[in-house]
Every structure is written in C-alpha cells, then in structure tokens.
Amino acid sequence: MLKERDAYVQKALDMGVSIFSGEAEGRLGQVLIDATNDKLKPIYNYLDDLPDIDNVAMPLLPAERVRLTAGSTTSFDAGRGCPFTCSFCTIINVQGQKSRQRSVESIEHIIRANVEQGLSSFFISDDNFARNKNWECILDKFIELREVHKLKISFTIQVDTLCHNLPGFIEKSKRAGVKRAFIGLENINPESLVGASKRQNKITDYREMLLAWKKVGVITCCGYILGFPNDTQESILRDIEIIKKELPVDLLEFFFLTPFPGSEDHQKLHTAGIAMDEDLNQYDANHAVTAHPKMSKENWEETSLKAWESFYTYEHAETIVKRAMATGTSPGKIMALITWFKGCVHIEKVHPLEGGFFRRKSRKDRRPTLPIESPFVFYPKYFAEIIWKHFCWVLLFIRLRLIYKRIRNDPKSREYMDLAIEPLNDNETETRELFQSEAARKFVEKRLRFKKMRNNVTSVT
Ligand code: SF4
C-alpha cells in the first residue's frame, strides 16, 4: 500500500528475517525447500498473484490442538475477497475484491475429515460469507449433510449488514446449522460510515436485518468501531444507549478504529505524516494507536472501557436474555457469551477475542525490554491473581445465572416485548431516536429521495 518500503519491514529484513506476502497455496512448498537448504530469499512477494483456491488442499487442524479452545471450534475458509471498500479493512488489499471460492467438494471433505476426528463446530473465516458467490451451494451442501446424512454440524459465519437482502440467505443459514452470525455494524452515525467508505451499511436497514436473524433464532454478534473522527466519549455512550433500546443486537463487540498496515487508513495516515504507534504488538483490540481529532489516547481508551461497561450492565444482560426468550434465540447460550464477554473485559482486562477462562503465564516469557521477575515475586503474585480472578469469575457466573433462572422461570417471559424486537413499522424514521441526529435525518431524507426516484423510474419503464 505504501510507495516506499515500510520502515519496520525494512528493519526485519536488515535483521535477516525473510518476508512472505500474499497467499501460501502453491508457494509454501518452495519456501520450505529454501528454508531446509538454508537458501531463503529475503522477499517472497505474491500479492499481485492471487491463487485459484477452487480445489487446493485445505489445512486440517488436529483435534488435540482445537480442543485447547473453548467450544472445540475449528475453522476453514470457504472463499476469499470482498467487493466492498471499507477504509479500515486489510482484507480487500490482501485477498482482493473479487470473490474466489473453494469448491463445494473440498468444503465437504474438510467437514467430513473434522467430523471423523470428533469436531463438529466450525468457524467459517471468510470475512464476508454473504459475498461468497457460492454461498447458496455451500449452504445447500451443509443442509444435505445435516438433514440427509445426519451430521450434527454447526457454524459461525461473518456477514455484512445487507445479507438479509439475499433471497433465502438467512433461512438457509439457519437450516445449514449457523448458530452465530458476526456482523460489522460498525457505527450508527451515517457520516462516520461514509467517512470509512462503508456506504453499504444503512442504518435504516439495521433493525430489519437483525430481526431477520432473530426470526430464525441465530445469535447476532455485532462489531462496533470506536474512534471515528466525529466520535467523542459523550456521543459514543449516547449511541450505545440508543442501540440498547432500539436494536435487537445480542452481543456488541467494541474495537478501536485501527490503521492496520495494509489498509487504506494506514496508507492515508502514513502519507499525511500522522504518527502511528511503532510497536505492532499494540495493534490488537485493546489499544488506541494513533491520534484522534477529539479524544486523547487516554480518553479514547477510557471510552472503550466505558462502552463495554455501559452495554454489559446486569440490567441490559437481563433485557437481552428476555428478548432471547421471547424470540427463541438460545437464551442459555447468549447468557454464557455475555458472561464470557463481561468477564474478559472486567476481570481479565482483555478483549473477548483475546480472552479465555484461564491465563497461563510463564515467568521467563517476557518482552526483551522487560526484566525477568524473581520466582519469589512472580509465583506468589501469579497464585494470588489466579485465586482472585476465579473468585470474580464465580461471582459473575452466579449473578448472571440467577438473572437467567429468574427469566426462564417466569411464565410471562415469552410475551416480553420492547422497542427493539417489536415488528417493523412505517414511521420508525420519525419516532425512533436512532434517526433523530442531524446526520441520521439527512441520511433518511436522502434515502427517501432515492426511493422516490427509483419508484418513478420503475413506473415509467
Ligand atoms: S465488508 Fe467487511 S470484509 Fe468487506 S471490505 Fe468491509 S470490513 Fe472488509
């Protein structure tokens, strides 16, 4: 993405590290041969030569490795590439904008091979499965494997906010065994979405899309980005309250707007000479790594913590589970996920994507800049930390479990209704808070004008 070589890539090269960029299929063999012969080239660059993945071998993760993760979920990609142009995304510059797919046969093969080793839960790692041109044939195959061959397989997929417009996509996903859909909601401010070239996200469609997933009982986990140029702590917390009240999102996952190397955002900041953190270890989900026009780094990071706190209150956890009971969306699983999310952020102090239930620490595994601690300091501290964290986890579990039991035992819980899950109506854009900001009103007016124009064209033709 950059005209000149990235300074840190150059630093790695100077240290004698070989760099491979692009996709490995059909090339990795040569790299391994070169490594064995101690003849590694400094650079292997295949970025402009994306391989056809139709029938290439798919990696099979051994069950003993996969079982180290909660839920024993293994993963594969059914395709690569995305036609959209979100400025914070690296996928389009690494995997391209053209959809490339694996054959249905090779996907069936990887599923059967995993089932044989006792694994039946799959994460399909396509960043946007809804834009996989083969989605329908793939889902039909999963349906056949489940309904005809009786394989008890289930899936988590990642999709965009327009997926409900693909005829049959959500219904087939349900029959195919999709239990969880990760959706890039990103923001409810249309100006921020346009600023990030995420024009495909239309806030007027959000509730329709989320209700469509609710209707089939699939859990939705939505990504939400903090730190668009107009964001302030106040605006972010206000928007989260609106989401809690008006959108039927099961889980909301917060991320810092991060200029990942390989994204358009990184390219723009680099060209403008705006500082970005030099330590690539910080480009995770827990740190702000560049300047924000309205928030200091401390304020931005504090806002992120407050965002998690404000979405995952005990009161809102209760509302989410009530909605799940009323719509038939696995309330027990949702509560388990809320426990995980809340515990990771508040007890482990890491993003749920990086968290787990037990933190293994090794005394000697430290960054080169940090001193190795004495065993007399390290082990008592580690032991106390384990006891304290597990005490907090147990308390959290009990408290949320009591809420869950109370809702489950309430005969009226299936009749629960609120603004988020009530059926769609025609005057939402006038009555909902979601559409009352200046930017949202402008967006709604534009959508109405566009709709009118389209109707006029249709009636003329
Ligand atoms: S829709 Fe998702 S995968 Fe596609 S460009 Fe945007 S962020 Fe990347």
Counting ligand 1 atoms within 8 A of each CB, the residue from 87, 91, 97, 199 with the most, and so the one to mutate, is: 91
CB atoms within 10 A of CB 136: 14
Return the closest-CA partner of residue 61 out of 114, 3, 1: 114
Which two structure tokens, joined as six digits, stand for 56? Answer: 């290439």
- Pocket lining: 186 vs ligand 1, CB cutoff 6 Å: no
189-216 pLDDT tens trace: 999 999 898 888 999 999 999 999 999 9
CA distances from residue 179 to 162, 218, 250, 330 in whole angstroms, order as listed: 19, 5, 12, 9
Cα separation, 35 vs 172, whole angstroms: 45
CA distances from residue 20 to 41, 43, 253, 256 in whole angstroms, order as listed: 9, 6, 31, 27
More reliable by pLDDT, 252 or 56 = 252
Strands 251-256, 219-226: pairing kind: parallel
More reliable by pLDDT, 240 or 449 = 240
Counting ligand 1 atoms within 8 A of each CB, the residue from 132, 160, 186, 193 with the most, and so the one to mutate, is: 160
Percent of the chain with pLDDT strictly greater than 70: 99
Mean pLDDT of 272-276: 93
Task: Name the closest-CA residue to atom 3, ligand 1.
Answer: 127
Superfamily holding 63-354: tm_1862 like domain (3.80.30.20)
Kindly state the greatest CA–CA separation across the chain: 83
- Pocket lining: 139 vs ligand 1, CB cutoff 6 Å: no
Cα separation, 298 vs 2, whole angstroms: 29
Phi-psi region of 216 (alpha: psi -120 to 50; beta: other; left: phi over 0): alpha
Helix ranges (DSSP H) in 148-263: 169-176, 190-195, 203-215, 233-246
Task: Name the closest-CA residue to atom 6, ligand 1.
Answer: 86
Mean pLDDT of 437-457: 86
Q: How many angstroms does the Cα of residue 159 sit away from the middle of ligand 1?
A: 9
Phi, psi of 38 (to 5 degrees): 55, 40
Q: How many angstroms does the Cα of residue 247 sit away from the middle of ligand 1?
A: 22
- Pocket lining: 92 vs ligand 1, CB cutoff 6 Å: yes
pLDDT at 448: 86
307-352 pLDDT tens trace: 999 999 999 999 999 999 999 999 999 999 999 999 999 999 999 9
End-to-end CA distance of the chain: 44
Residues in the chain: 461
- Pocket lining: 89 vs ligand 1, CB cutoff 6 Å: yes
| Atom number, ligand 1, closest to the C-alpha of residue 131 | 4
> Confidence class of residue 69 from pLDDT cuts 50, 70 and 90?
confident
Q: How many angstroms does the Cα of residue 199 sit away from the middle of ligand 1?
A: 11
Return the closest-CA partner of residue 138 out of 157, 116, 121, 119: 157
Q: Where are the domains of the chain?
A: 7-45, 63-354, 428-460
Q: How many angstroms does the Cα of residue 85 sit away from the middle of ligand 1?
A: 7
- Pocket lining: 228 vs ligand 1, CB cutoff 6 Å: no
Mean pLDDT of 157-184: 97
Q: How many angstroms does the Cα of residue 98 sit away from the middle of ligand 1?
A: 12
pTM of the prediction? Answer: 0.92
| Atom number, ligand 1, closest to the C-alpha of residue 85 | 5
- Does residue 5 surpass a pLDDT of 70? yes
* Residue 358 CB-half CA count within 13 A: 7
Secondary structure class of 225 (helix, strand, coil): strand
CA distances from residue 309 to 206, 299, 312, 383, 393 in whole angstroms, order as listed: 23, 15, 5, 27, 16
Percent of the chain with pLDDT strictly greater than 90: 83
Cα separation, 332 vs 122, whole angstroms: 20
Which two structure tokens, joined as six digits, stand for 115? Answer: 């089932």
Cα separation, 432 vs 239, whole angstroms: 12
Phi-psi region of 204 (alpha: psi -120 to 50; beta: other; left: phi over 0): alpha
Q: How many angstroms does the Cα of residue 90 sit away from the middle of ligand 1?
A: 8
- Pocket lining: 106 vs ligand 1, CB cutoff 6 Å: no
pLDDT at 461: 58
- Pocket lining: 231 vs ligand 1, CB cutoff 6 Å: no
Q: Which long-range contacts (CB under 8 A, 24 or more apart) does 422-431 make?
A: 423/211, 424/207, 424/208, 424/211, 428/207, 429/204
pLDDT at 281: 87
Secondary structure class of 242 (helix, strand, coil): helix
